[in-house]
Chains A and B, each alone.
Chain A
């Protein structure tokens, strides 16, 4: 029986080539699209799952409350990790780690920067990174040895065994390689090229001994059966029990959620990438539904042709159930064929898709998860697409079909078909509107007035002896004649990392806490970055004369609330008094969508890490860069010269937004394409059905435009109805989407008008092809065929 079903399905396909082509193409495109999305989703969901004990692994985060606002940080005191392991029986392992250090490694004349972490020995026991060589028991205990990844080993030693060899670190000490680890997989949140003992880091950072100073990451593994909620209760006041002035409230953040739910608002989890995962999963399902709707519509539109067959089969003894099974087999056969083509499409476009989403997704049908998924998808599509046609076609009464079945204008099936077309266009129009709004939002933020000039600024890290040479480097760079100004700072302007609640001033509400960002800069920072002073003065060129002067931003000045903030005294917790020398106009840092937080600039170059060099405008960039390189190299010959442009870094901040923008454009285009394939087929059948009517109309004097209007009118009406439903839906969705951005565009009416007109135009274009063909047909011929 099944064989018989598939035989008929295959012959049906062959007989109606055009119809089958439209159907299978639409379905394959939809499936290919959904497969790509699901590969991406699967990759996101599988993040960090390679760790054996991932369900018991946590990072410890902490909340700090300031005047009703709660901020969440990953930074913890240096003593925290060892203390909780000792005091809380639930903690099996605990490892501290720095934020990832960029270190220069040298072997002979080969010098390469590599990023890695200083961490505790438990790191190796809790995480399942594969140690290729070395002894877990002794590694990371001794401050003169290091673990490197196989990839890093290859860079320095090629095929040679790196074990026991030494590398010079930051042109200073020699470290012995005592372990070789496999490069962390792409699906790992933690990424490093080397690991070294945390003792080294402790030796360099004395503040790690203070309970009030939050500065490093802490990871823990709980004992099997330990209750995370109970541990959280104990952690809550752990730090304040050691130092009563400390306000950090630690809690566990499960590894399951590192990748997808790492956004915190007011101390509570507030999503993260999971929103993209959800969004794209929904889009995948919508695209599949659109493709299945094509199938349903084309299948039911052809029902007049299939009706006689149904009649004959029923007369021959087929029951309704048998016919339902037959039509389901046909749709499943169709969707299996579509799946094969979809797999081919995925295989072909995966490299480009990987570039687009910056992943290394692989598509291996030999993998049971992938092949199982494909089969499931084909079955799902086959059943979904075949559902309505099966029940509809099998319900035909042989007596009626032999009399000659004509489906009236008002029959239920016609309404269902119209409803399905409307559904497709609702989805398409919503996607068009969303695409436009997302694009405009991203552009809007990118073009936001930053409060400084991001163009023509290059950044280079200050390494080695450069910090001590800063005044000389400054003078030499200024003498190159390609540089307009130079400044040094602790962080790059896009991400100012330090903050403190430890400030007070006259008139401050007692016991109120305000988190203030802090940045340490050279005197030329404000002019070099192109920032403007609102009042007061810039720092003096002579650093020593401004050691207790600060510049604050307008937001902070507003909070202090004095008419003239210049000259006001700000007192730090340790009693040090600082005088406001100037107020800098607000500039945007860290969060490009929010208003800036209050900020203090200190005039202090003892800890600076970044050199910002503003090039003179309209100079040959490569020549300018080479002149700068000469200066830097002469001051720090042992380090390779590396630089980045500020505007590139700025664009990088919008990576995920840009990705969403790009993907939504691709998906919107595909959705419309698939919908149009269906519309095209439907228009063809309508034209075919009305051949006689068109012939009669033409004989009676109808012109070609009359006929085109006649045939297109019905479809255009459907698109208009779809627009009316899609507009409020899209408005609601986009309004919700924009709520996440404090700095956002207003939704404008013209976006809807454009989307509606675009949909009508596309539909008209699709339908008119068939309409024109029917309209120009010779009426004598069309009447004869009836």
Chain B
């Protein structure tokens, strides 16, 4: 599903040049659950942004489902992204002015799903995440675990093939963290590919494969048994 070859990304400010990705090569197959680990500043988040089509690489090749997307412009990336990729963030990134229902509904609005169908699908996924009773609440009224469940619901409502999770349990206690990891595992078992960036060895054990990064390169791969 994802085939990355010699990918490079350099951030430049007036005086400093930071190499975030240094000729990185990586492959993720459909249905895999991959954890990306490494120290701060090793390029994990940059990798996730590029894989998530939020950012573009400076050079190298990125095949997404066999299509070369490294040179896609913003509009094409957005189009591909909204139909194929779901995101889960460490800080949830829910919109404070929208209710739980409306937050989850958002991706469907942007992909042009009709209102009746939207309602059905949002309710279905809220039910699955067991937060149906909170549908009319605003994010500030929820606990961290509940917020992340809403975020996961939002990530899956569009039935994406790929979910990218950036430290999904970073802001949660261990109980809530485990619940979210279980949700991701369930999704993976139902066929969704998952790439997760994490600092937590505990969380990484939910994955099939751990990729360790250092200074913009992959240095080690562990296959989980």
Residue ranges of A at the interface with B (Cβ–Cβ < 8 Å): 1, 4, 7-8, 11-12, 15, 308-309, 311-320, 322, 397-399, 402
- Shortest Cβ gap from B83 to chain A (Å): 8
In the complex, A314 Cα to B75 Cα: how many Å?
A: 11
In the complex, A63 Cα to B158 Cα: how many Å?
A: 82
- Shortest Cβ gap from A188 to chain B (Å): 55
The residues of A that contact B158 with a CB separation of less than 8 Å are: 317
- Shortest Cβ gap from A295 to chain B (Å): 19
Interface string of B91-122 (1 = CB under 8 A from A): 00111111000100011011100000000000
The residues of A that contact B154 with a CB separation of less than 8 Å are: 316
Q: Please name 8 further chain A to chain B contacts, defined as beta carbons within 8 Å, in addition to the given A317-B107, A399-B49, sorted by A numbering.
A: A4-B102, A11-B97, A15-B96, A314-B78, A318-B78, A319-B78, A320-B75, A402-B89
A316–B110 touching, CB < 8 Å = yes
Given contacts A15-B97, A398-B54, contact A317 B87 (CB under 8 A): no
B97–A12 touching, CB < 8 Å = yes
Given contacts A320-B74, A322-B110, A402-B89, contact A315 B54 (CB under 8 A): yes
Is B32 an interface residue when CB atoms closer than 8 A count as contact?
no
In the complex, A4 Cα to B97 Cα: how many Å?
A: 11
A402–B93 touching, CB < 8 Å = yes
In the complex, A309 Cα to B92 Cα: how many Å?
A: 12
The residues of B that contact A1 with a CB separation of less than 8 Å are: 109
Q: List 27 A-B contacts (CB under 8 A).
A: A1-B109, A4-B102, A4-B109, A7-B102, A8-B97, A11-B98, A12-B97, A308-B93, A309-B95, A311-B93, A312-B93, A312-B94, A312-B95, A313-B95, A315-B52, A315-B54, A315-B87, A315-B93, A316-B87, A316-B107, A317-B78, A317-B83, A317-B110, A317-B158, A398-B54, A399-B55, A402-B89
Residue ranges of B at the interface with A (Cβ–Cβ < 8 Å): 49, 52, 54-55, 74-75, 78, 81-83, 87, 89, 93-98, 102, 106-107, 109-111, 154, 158
Closest to B94 in A: A312
Closest to A15 in B: B97
Given contacts A1-B109, A313-B106, A399-B55, contact A319 B75 (CB under 8 A): yes
- Shortest Cβ gap from B13 to chain A (Å): 11
The residues of B that contact A4 with a CB separation of less than 8 Å are: 102, 109
- Shortest Cβ gap from A396 to chain B (Å): 12
In the complex, A683 Cα to B102 Cα: how many Å?
A: 34
In the complex, A8 Cα to B138 Cα: how many Å?
A: 13
State the main secondary structure of chain A at its contact with B.
Answer: helix
Given contacts A15-B97, A317-B107, A319-B75, contact A399 B82 (CB under 8 A): no
In the complex, A12 Cα to B98 Cα: how many Å?
A: 10
In the complex, A316 Cα to B107 Cα: how many Å?
A: 5
In the complex, A313 Cα to B102 Cα: how many Å?
A: 12
The residues of A that contact B110 with a CB separation of less than 8 Å are: 313, 316-319, 322
The residues of A that contact B106 with a CB separation of less than 8 Å are: 312-313, 316
Closest 4 CB pairs of A and B: A317-B82, A317-B110, A11-B97, A316-B107
The residues of A that contact B93 with a CB separation of less than 8 Å are: 308, 311-312, 315, 402
The residues of B that contact A318 with a CB separation of less than 8 Å are: 78, 110
In the complex, A277 Cα to B106 Cα: how many Å?
A: 50
- Shortest Cβ gap from A760 to chain B (Å): 35
A8–B98 touching, CB < 8 Å = yes
B95–A317 touching, CB < 8 Å = no
Closest to A400 in B: B55
In the complex, A398 Cα to B56 Cα: how many Å?
A: 12
Q: Quick one: which of B74, B82, B97 contacts A316, CB cutoff 8 A?
A: B82
Given contacts A317-B107, A322-B110, contact A399 B95 (CB under 8 A): no
Closest to A312 in B: B93
The residues of B that contact A402 with a CB separation of less than 8 Å are: 89, 93
- Shortest Cβ gap from B116 to chain A (Å): 14
- Shortest Cβ gap from A231 to chain B (Å): 64
In the complex, A315 Cα to B96 Cα: how many Å?
A: 16
The residues of A that contact B111 with a CB separation of less than 8 Å are: 317
B97–A317 touching, CB < 8 Å = no
The residues of A that contact B81 with a CB separation of less than 8 Å are: 315, 317
Closest to A314 in B: B78
The residues of B that contact A7 with a CB separation of less than 8 Å are: 102
In the complex, A322 Cα to B111 Cα: how many Å?
A: 11
- Shortest Cβ gap from A402 to chain B (Å): 7
- Shortest Cβ gap from A397 to chain B (Å): 8
In the complex, A7 Cα to B101 Cα: how many Å?
A: 14
The residues of A that contact B98 with a CB separation of less than 8 Å are: 8, 11
Closest to B87 in A: A315
Closest to A308 in B: B93
The residues of A that contact B94 with a CB separation of less than 8 Å are: 312
- Shortest Cβ gap from B101 to chain A (Å): 12
The residues of B that contact A315 with a CB separation of less than 8 Å are: 52, 54, 81, 87, 93
In the complex, A371 Cα to B87 Cα: how many Å?
A: 47
The residues of A that contact B78 with a CB separation of less than 8 Å are: 314, 317-319
In the complex, A147 Cα to B54 Cα: how many Å?
A: 83
- Shortest Cβ gap from A24 to chain B (Å): 18
In the complex, A394 Cα to B141 Cα: how many Å?
A: 28
- Shortest Cβ gap from B9 to chain A (Å): 11
- Shortest Cβ gap from A394 to chain B (Å): 11
Closest to B154 in A: A316
Highest count of chain B CB atoms <10 Å: which of A1, A315, A320, A402: A315
Closest to A309 in B: B95
In the complex, A399 Cα to B52 Cα: how many Å?
A: 10
- Shortest Cβ gap from A403 to chain B (Å): 8
In the complex, A772 Cα to B218 Cα: how many Å?
A: 53
B54–A399 touching, CB < 8 Å = yes
- Shortest Cβ gap from A622 to chain B (Å): 70
- Shortest Cβ gap from B223 to chain A (Å): 30
In the complex, A15 Cα to B107 Cα: how many Å?
A: 23
Closest to A11 in B: B97
In the complex, A308 Cα to B87 Cα: how many Å?
A: 14
- Shortest Cβ gap from A777 to chain B (Å): 24
The residues of B that contact A314 with a CB separation of less than 8 Å are: 54, 78
The residues of A that contact B107 with a CB separation of less than 8 Å are: 316-317
Highest count of chain A CB atoms <10 Å: which of B89, B94, B109: B109
- Shortest Cβ gap from A219 to chain B (Å): 65
In the complex, A726 Cα to B154 Cα: how many Å?
A: 53
In the complex, A12 Cα to B52 Cα: how many Å?
A: 29
- Shortest Cβ gap from B222 to chain A (Å): 28
Closest to A398 in B: B54
In the complex, A322 Cα to B82 Cα: how many Å?
A: 13
In the complex, A313 Cα to B98 Cα: how many Å?
A: 12
The residues of A that contact B75 with a CB separation of less than 8 Å are: 319-320
Closest to A310 in B: B95
In the complex, A477 Cα to B143 Cα: how many Å?
A: 97
In the complex, A319 Cα to B95 Cα: how many Å?
A: 17
Highest count of chain A CB atoms <10 Å: which of B96, B97, B98: B97
The residues of A that contact B74 with a CB separation of less than 8 Å are: 320
- Shortest Cβ gap from A319 to chain B (Å): 5
The residues of A that contact B96 with a CB separation of less than 8 Å are: 15, 309
The residues of B that contact A309 with a CB separation of less than 8 Å are: 95-97
In the complex, A316 Cα to B87 Cα: how many Å?
A: 8
In the complex, A398 Cα to B75 Cα: how many Å?
A: 14
- Shortest Cβ gap from A312 to chain B (Å): 5
- Shortest Cβ gap from A752 to chain B (Å): 41
The residues of B that contact A316 with a CB separation of less than 8 Å are: 82, 87, 106-107, 110, 154
In the complex, A15 Cα to B139 Cα: how many Å?
A: 14
In the complex, A312 Cα to B106 Cα: how many Å?
A: 10
- Shortest Cβ gap from A227 to chain B (Å): 59
- Shortest Cβ gap from B133 to chain A (Å): 22
